[in-house]
Chain A
Amino acid sequence: MNLLASVRHGAKSFAWFMRGVMGEDAYDKYKAHHEAHDESIHDPDAAACSGPVMMTEREFWRDQTDRQDINPQGRCC
């Protein structure tokens, strides 16, 4: 690996890490989960826990903060 490639790799890993820590990948994870469960739609368990219809990106982010409204999490001191 030459220098440029390793710098690029490092920057990419850093961006991936920050995205994850900030929680920006939440919708991607939700989508991946939902798609994986679409295949096993015959499994009532899986269908029940992800809900029948996949939310759009906008709906998902609204739902996410609305869930935080009814389930608050403490921040440490």
Chain B
Amino acid sequence: MGTKPRTPHDSAKRGEELDRDPLLLPVALDQTTHDAEEAHWTPLKIGIWGGISLLGGLSWVMLAVVRGETVNAIWFVFAAVCTYLIGYRFYSNYIQKHLLHPDDRRATPAEYKADGKDFAATDRRVLFGHHFAAIAGAGPLVGPVLAAQMGYLPGTIWIIVGVVLAGAVQDYMVLFFSMRRGGRSLGQMARDELGKVGGTAALVATLAIMVIIVAILALVVVNALADSPWGVFSVSMTIPIALFMGVYLRFFRPGRVTEVSIIGFILLLAAIIGGGMIADTEWGSTFFAIEPLPLAIGIIVYGFVAAILPVWLLLAPRDYLSTFMKIGTIGMLAIAIIIVRPEISAPAASEFVNGGGPVVSGSLFPFLFVTIACGALSGFHALIASGTTPKLIEKERQTRFIGYGGMLMESFVAIMALVAALSIDRGIYFAMNSSPALTGGTVEGAVTFVNSLGLTGVNLTPEMLTETAKNVGEETIVSRTGGAPTLSVGLANIMHQLVGGSGMMAFWYHFAIMFEALFILTAVDAGTRVARFMLQDSLGNFFPKFKNTSWRPGAWVTTGIMVAAWGAVLVMGVTDPLGGINTLFPLFGIANQLLAAIALAVCLAIVAKRGLFTYLWVVALPLTFAAVVTIYASFLKIFSTVPAVGYFAQNRAFSNALDEGLTSFGTAKTVEAMEAVVRNTMVQGVLSILFVVLAIIVMVTAVQATWKSYKSRSFGTNEDDAVASQMFAPSGFVATPEEKKLAARWDTQIAQAKLDKAGRTTRR
């Protein structure tokens, strides 16, 4: 890489030539070669795609039409994988061809800004793993579990169809556009494309959404660990383990990442096994059984300390551990589901489609689409896709495999979580996921409540609950809301059939809890850090001193503000007399989907600026859907007169009760509890209004920008100037025959160059 010719290049116009270095091998295949390879349908290829379509179609029929007493989990896997393959092969190809026009003759930021550190070309398969590890977290594991109350079909359709038409489209486009802009962040792109108002609204919305997401993830952990000595012990052991790994990497063996991760993993297993032994002892079961509120305060203190400690000590090592666990466990679960093939006895669409369900309140439309966010469409991914990944991409065409393909993979995780949640008995599912306000937190209360729901085929007995609790090594499983414990029971239910038998169920349960807690604690810590930097940046406009991020008091103050913000929401969720997760989770989904709407709005403006109005529908479709769902959901949350759905309706009901001098109302048994409901619903309602107003501002500015481009027909671009690439790499997971040929020529040339260089050095 000697000289860097810079040629202005308008990407909207195609066919313009980048100067090609005549001494160099081709750095890209011609468009005609790509087209010819694609259009070349051999009988084998036709057979394969015909087979995929048939199998996919059959699986959908088995899920949606046949509906016997039970349905086998394998049909979920086939329906998902076949649909993904077809969506990837045809729809993402369509987007590539008509909207994005990747040009492999252009160097990516990893090439023209290469510094060997932040900007470094990374093999596409490795980067796929990286990107997947960064986007997949607790979200796709928790949302589908809660949505399972609606039956298996609505969630399955939304996860699979949603990802193909919405989620993967967003990730792919944001990744591509950020790559074309040297790896710029979503916030910066919003400012560039939508102007000051839209950009500022996007920034404030992102910050607020971040706070709510961190708070609710923390709430999931608190609900999973409260009164569980085993879980509290093993999860808190991750802190010393991570500290040990951090010191090991810093002082003893720098860079031995895999080695230290394996050591950490073994220690983690020891912590899980040790947790079981300690929970069996008298002192352990009392010392580590912590109630929700003290546990929440513990997590808040932890969040503050973790976010101001240096990265090398806690965040980086735990990140390695979490990546290691993530890839291992998800792979293991996929294999287990395929081998065990559990039968699922839940109905396709349950009694709660029209609302009234105890797990998440509200009807299927719109609340299913906000309950399952990650896995179908997740706005948070736009922050990742405009973060590290675009700085590491080797070639432009690889964005399809990494962006679109990576999101399909996450969707598959969501399907597996859904299958795991559905594989447990429905009665147990509802006993675990109904709030303590409904079950009273006792086995008898849960049995009475669940059986009173009148669900077909559900006949819960107290023995079923005590037996399951005993199997998974917990005191009780009643009202373990938040999704994580249910998923863990499901995972234990599947895994013990493969490894270890029923004696291992408790181990698998706590393994899964650990696995989720690890992701969430990393997300909490990293989210607090990112939010703190955003806040410092904004405060810096008024108090310049805050701009300096290494100024310690400034860092502590801003970290404190961010932790206080999510901590307040967390405490509110934990102490909520109405149950917490069922009222707060919709806020999480709405926040995440609004962020998606913001990201798609930015993409809409960019596509319009490229002058591609014929294909604007590709972005407009998911954007409209996300906008309708979130605005309608917010509308219901704000204006619904049904107290279980509307925050302000609930607020009024409780205020009126207080005014009438009642000392107990609904599930709130004391005046303080009633006052808490009044306070909480007010905060939740105000947050809903804030989110929706900000998102509407962003969308309106995006539509304005799009209209302006349409009217004036003047197409500019905020892309970096094109720089000629000087390297070649295939674009998909498997190289095509033509790509293989060209790659082989490059390999020979590189080998020859190395030989020459070696020759020169010896001669010297």
| A interface residues (Cβ-Cβ under 8 A, vs B) | 17-24, 26-27, 29-34, 36-37, 40, 43, 45-46, 49-50, 57-58, 60-77
Complex Cα distance A32/B387, Å? 24
CA distance A74 to B522 in the complex (A): 9
Chain B residues within an 8 Å CB radius of A49: 113-115
11 A-B pairs in the complex with CB atoms less than 8 angstroms apart: A18-B258, A21-B126, A23-B320, A24-B256, A30-B120, A31-B116, A49-B114, A71-B118, A72-B311, A77-B138, A77-B523
Contact: B137 with A76, CB < 8 Å? yes
Contacts of B254 in A (CB 8 A): 57-58, 60-62
In the bound complex, CA of A71 to CA of B536 (Å): 13
- Is A43 touching B258 in the complex (CB atoms < 8 A)? no
* The residue from A22, A62, A68, A74 contacting B380, defined by CB atoms under 8 A apart: A74
Instruction: Tell me the number of A-to-B contacts counted with CB atoms below 8 Å.
Output: 147
Q: Is the CB of A21 within 8 A of B255?
A: no
Whether the pair A77, B123 counts as a contact (CB closer than 8 A) is: no
Q: Is the interface of A mostly helix, strand, loop or mixed?
A: helix
Q: Mark B298-334, 1 if CB is under 8 A from A, else 0.
A: 0000000000001110011001101110010000000
A50 to B1, CA, bound (A): 13
Contact B113 A74 (CB under 8 A): no
A33: min CB distance to chain B, Å: 3
Interface size of B by Cβ–Cβ distance < 8 Å?
66
For B4, B117, B550, the residue with the greatest tally of chain A CB atoms inside 10 Å of its CB is B117
Q: How far is the CA of A21 from the CA of B374 in the complex (A)?
A: 22
Q: In the assembled complex, how far is the CB of residue A69 from the closest CB belonging to chain B, in whole angstroms?
A: 5
* Pair A74/B311 contact, Cβ less than 8 Å: no
Identify the B interface with A (CB < 8 A): 1-4, 113-118, 120, 122-123, 125-126, 129-130, 133-139, 210, 213, 217, 249-250, 254-258, 261, 310-312, 315-316, 319-320, 322-324, 327, 374, 378, 380-381, 383-384, 387-388, 519, 522-523, 526-527, 529-530, 532-533, 549-550, 592
**Roughly how many angstroms separate A32 CA and B757 CA in the complex, as a whole number?**
14
- Can you name the residue of chain B whose Cβ is closest to the Cβ of A32? B116
Not counting A22-B261, A60-B254, A76-B384, a sample of 11 additional A-B residue pairs whose C-beta atoms are within 8 angstroms of each other reads A18-B327, A24-B255, A30-B120, A50-B115, A62-B254, A66-B310, A73-B134, A74-B523, A75-B523, A76-B139, A77-B380
A50 touching B327, Cβ below 8 Å? no
Which A residues lie within 8 Å of B519 (CB)? 75
CA distance A43 to B114 in the complex (A): 14
Q: Which of B129, B388, B532 contacts A73 (CB 8 A)?
A: B388
Contact call B115/A77, Cβ cutoff below 8 A:
no
- Closest Cβ of chain A to B335, distance in Å, is 15
Q: Given A20-B126, A36-B1, verify A68-B311 contact (CB < 8 Å).
A: yes
Does A74 lie within 8 Å of B137, measured CB to CB?
A: no
A residues near B115, Cβ cutoff 8 Å:
33, 49-50
Query: Which one of B117, B261, B315, B532 lies within 8 Å of A64 (CB-CB)?
Result: B117
Contacts A17-B126, A29-B116, A29-B120: A75 and B522 contacting too (C-beta < 8 A)? yes
**Smallest Cβ distance from B397 to chain A, in angstroms?**
20
Contacts of A22 in B (CB 8 A): 257-258, 261, 320, 323-324
Q: Which 10 A-B pairs have the closest CB atoms?
A: A33-B116, A20-B126, A21-B129, A65-B312, A72-B529, A30-B116, A77-B139, A24-B257, A61-B254, A68-B311
Whether the pair B258, A74 counts as a contact (CB closer than 8 A) is no
Interfacial chain B residues near A34, Cβ < 8 Å:
116
- Contact in complex: B523, A20 (CB < 8 Å): no
Instruction: Contact check, B4 vs A45: say whether CB atoms are below 8 A apart.
Output: yes
B249 cross-chain contacts in A, Cβ below 8 A: 61
Q: Given A62-B250, A76-B137, A50–B527 Cβ distance below 8 Å?
A: no
Contact partners of A72 in chain B: CB under 8 A:
311, 526, 529-530, 532-533
**Distance (Å) between the CB of A38 and the closest chain B CB?**
11
Chain B hits for A30, CB < 8 A: 116-117, 120
A21 to B122, CA, bound (A): 10
How far, in Å, is B386 (CB) from chain A's closest CB?
Answer: 11
- Beta-carbon contact of A21 and B523 below 8 Å: no
Known A-B contacts A49-B115, A61-B255; the reply to A73 vs B133 at CB < 8 A is: no
